[in-house]
Amino acid sequence: GKWRSYGIVSINDLIKIPSDIGVESAATLSVNPCTAYRLLRDFVTLEKGDTIIQNGGNSGVGQAVIQLGKLWNINVVSIVR
């Protein structure tokens, strides 16, 4: 899992994170897009031209939903409080 302080991995499984990206941001780079993908593919049936209204569009998952929507020709309306 991801909730570890240390791990043993192959050098081929590592990605160098640029110094201008903080540890907190780097830790979620692979989590938020996966969450958005599953949300849009596994829990709803969407077709090109459909519209999604999401709350929290400024979050990491929300940003990924916007990008996937653009990629898949799905309209995304984001509400930000």
Residues 8-44 as b/e (b if ≥16 CB within 10 A, e otherwise) read eeeeeeeeeeeeeeeeeeeeeeeebbeebeebbeeee
pLDDT reading at 2 higher than 70: no
Instruction: Answer yes or no: is 16 within a domain.
Output: yes
Instruction: Answer yes or no: is 15 within a domain.
Output: yes
Q: Which two tokens stand for residue 50?
A: 């459909």
pLDDT reading at 1 higher than 60: no
CA distance 62 to 76: 10
Mean pLDDT over each residue of the chain, to the nearest integer: 92
Return the pLDDT at 62: 96
User: pLDDT tens across 29-66, in order?
Assistant: 888 999 999 999 999 999 999 999 999 999 999 999 99
Instruction: Answer yes or no: is 68 within a domain.
Output: yes
Return the pLDDT at 61: 94
E runs forming strands in the chain? 51-55, 75-79
Return the pLDDT at 27: 82
Return the pLDDT at 23: 87
Q: Which residue has the tokens 């940003």?
A: 63
Full domain range(s) for residue 40? 11-79
